[in-house]
Amino acid sequence: MKNGPAKEKSLLVGKPLRVPDINVFTLFKNRSKVNACKVICRCHEDILTFSQLLNESEIYAKAFMELGVKHGDIVPLCVVPSCVAVTLFFALNRIGAVSTFLNATAGTEEIGRYIQQFSSNIFIYSFGVNLNINSLYEKSNLINTVIIGESKKDTKKLKCVKDKLQFYMGNHSADDKSIEISEFYKLGQKSLLAVSQYSGKAVPAFIAYTSGTTGEPKSILLSNENIIAEMIALKKSSLMQYGPQGNSLQVVPFNYPYGFIISVLFPIFVGKTAALTPGLTGENTAEYLEMYKPKYISAIPPFYKSLLRDKKVCKMDLSFIRYAVSGGDIITKSEIEHINAFFKERGSKGRLLNGSGNGEGAGSLTNPIALFEKYNIDSIGKPIYGLSVKFIDENGNIVNRNQKGRFCFAGKNVMLGYYDDEVKTRTVKHIDNDGIEWFHTDTYGYMDKDNWIYFGGRERRFFITYDSSGSPYKVYCDHVQNMIKQHNSVADCAVVQCPDEKRYFIPIAFVVLKNGEWMTVKKEVNEICLRELQSCAMPVEYIKIERLPVSSAGKIDYIRIEELAKEKRKR
């Protein structure tokens, strides 16, 4: 009996990617000579050109050096998107320091933990962020804080955004240890120090954040090489080539790789204008679209779905939208078709596609808008240039094409590791028999014969919600459940997403009591969640249930529980 043809394994070895031995600043400095777009960054009416970036980043670099920042130091920035924030990143990169954007909506305790973890003695923050600066001084090694103040240009254009910006940048009385950004700039202007260039690609450059398997943010340490490799790979793979000008809308906050590396650095690198959105909410999306008329949009599912409900957007001419990509979570095929029809009815030739990425891989791993390729609505794209991918079974063996497995990748864009956490790093980075280091994701899927990748689920359940300030946040359901189960009177718990008009999704908790009085237990469980969770991950409602429904396989039936949550919310 003859054997059938051997099945091809789902392994793709990427083409060699050459990364110059320079830092990110030098890469962009070289690009400035041929850049197609004079304005590289916009924040409302405030603009940043390449010449301004080169000049002002040197001045800020000197100011940092005057305050004692040196090669290898980590400088946290708790700021809203702005042109000066972008410039500060490049200033720190010039002197070999590591910048990190913290969650601008986080509380003093969380921000303090990062400042202590990074042993930082300087901290940058925006006017009006909800922080107790004196408390940060008391609990850390901080010597100086620099305040980014309000720009009149930032509040002039958008009426709806003005109040939000006032929240971030409004009335503030600086203490004796704080320096306003204008004074910080003057410090650099007066400095006689020479900016030392650290050009090695292996030098750490940036710390970004992502939620891990437990739902707790992990600090992702990226080198110059990781970021540069991502820039070059995306440029070689994408339709966002050097040339045609256009605004690229930043939707996701800077603390995520998708928000800064993909939505800000990459558009600048390929000659576009990064259009920044401080204060973006579901209520002012139309105003940002009208102001920027973005040709390119890299956003998350809630952003695109909110367009369908926005009365102002429904009346707009959207012909300016040409390229729209969604990341962070999956939009179903039917939802994409609905959004594409919405675009077409309003004059846009743009077609939405799902992308896929990991912060540990510098933000984006697949490119749905691939060069010279057909439109594939079912796929999350093809691997970017230089990326090696494979899909493996539970024993680590590579599965066949069109067979579901765990998504793994290797390349020069893979992070150095989780900051100061070798144990967590070793759980996701594995070296095979050929000496290749692979990053193992928690995503499942498969790859067809033409290298299109298809999503097949995740190990962990999460959904995207918006917090009170309008910033997107991933809620990991199992993490919230674990917090609730800390209470001795809780026998079991299930946390699920429930649709919400304003926040897209909200968390609902179903609790099975072991003993105790329900109202007392509920109050104490809520106190645990208040202490352990970010506000947007807090269950909106706790529902007592006798037992959790299970599927025919004996597992918790989360789909049924989501239906119960919808029914409860309708009442």
Instruction: Using the predicted structure, report yes or no on whether residue 417 has a pLDDT greater than 70.
Output: yes
**Residue 3 belongs to a domain:** no
Let me know whether 513 and 561 are in one domain.
Answer: yes
Q: What's the CATH number where 396 sits?
A: 2.30.38.10
pLDDT of res. 115: 92
C-beta pairs of 537-540 under 8 Å, 24+ apart in sequence = 537/215, 537/465, 537/473, 537/475, 537/476, 537/479, 537/480, 537/507, 538/507, 539/480, 539/484, 539/495, 539/507, 539/508, 539/509, 540/498, 540/500, 540/506, 540/507, 540/508
Let me know whether 263 and 356 are in one domain.
Answer: yes
Per the structure, the complete domain to which residue 510 belongs is given by 462-570
Structural domain ending residue among the three candidates 408, 429, 455:
455
Let me know whether 564 and 429 are in one domain.
Answer: no
| pTM exceeds 0.85 | no
Structural domain ending residue among the three candidates 424, 455, 486:
455
pLDDT band at 142 (very low <50, low <70, confident <90, very high): confident
Of the chain, the end-to-end C-alpha distance in Å amounts to 65
The mean pLDDT of 211-224, rounded to a whole number, is: 74
Instruction: Using the predicted structure, report yes or no on whether residue 413 has a pLDDT greater than 60.
Output: yes
pLDDT band at 168 (very low <50, low <70, confident <90, very high): very low
pLDDT of res. 265: 96
Which among 371, 398, 358, 366 is positioned nearest to 383, based on CA atoms? Answer: 366
Q: What does the block give as tokens for 448?
A: 């067809």
Q: What's the CATH number where 38 sits?
A: 3.40.50.12780
Secondary structure class of 563 (helix, strand, coil): helix
Let me know whether 201 and 274 are in one domain.
Answer: yes
Q: Which region among 302-306, 349-353, 567-571 has the lowest average model confidence (pLDDT)? A: 567-571
Mean pLDDT of all residues belonging to the chain = 85
Let me know whether 450 and 473 are in one domain.
Answer: no
Q: What does the block give as tokens for 44?
A: 């409302």
Let me know whether 448 and 561 are in one domain.
Answer: no
Phi then psi dihedrals of residue 78, to 5 deg: -105, 85
Provide the domain count of the chain: 3
pLDDT tens by residue, 443-483: 889 999 999 999 887 767 778 888 766 777 788 888 899 88
Name residue, tokens 């028999």: 433
Q: Which region among 127-136, 334-343, 436-445 has the lowest average model confidence (pLDDT)? A: 127-136
**Residue 96 belongs to a domain:** yes
Let me know whether 497 and 436 are in one domain.
Answer: no
Q: What's the CATH number where 543 sits?
A: 3.30.300.30
pLDDT band at 128 (very low <50, low <70, confident <90, very high): low
Let me know whether 531 and 555 are in one domain.
Answer: yes
**Residue 6 belongs to a domain:** no
Let me know whether 87 and 232 are in one domain.
Answer: yes
**Residue 14 belongs to a domain:** no
Let me know whether 448 and 543 are in one domain.
Answer: no
**Residue 486 belongs to a domain:** yes
Q: For helices 24-31 and 83-94, what crossing angle results, to 10°? A: 120
Which among 147, 146, 149 is positioned nearest to 170, based on CA atoms? Answer: 149
Instruction: Using the predicted structure, report yes or no on whether residue 157 has a pLDDT greater than 60.
Output: no
The mean pLDDT of 404-421, rounded to a whole number, is: 94
Let me know whether 219 and 347 are in one domain.
Answer: yes
pLDDT band at 241 (very low <50, low <70, confident <90, very high): low
The mean pLDDT of 203-224, rounded to a whole number, is: 80
Instruction: Using the predicted structure, report yes or no on whether residue 112 has a pLDDT greater than 70.
Output: yes
- Please give the angle made by the CA atoms of 192, 198 and 202, to the nearest 5 degrees: 165
pLDDT band at 569 (very low <50, low <70, confident <90, very high): confident
The mean pLDDT of 124-146, rounded to a whole number, is: 82
Secondary structure class of 470 (helix, strand, coil): coil
Structural domain ending residue among the three candidates 455, 475, 506:
455
Let me know whether 161 and 270 are in one domain.
Answer: yes
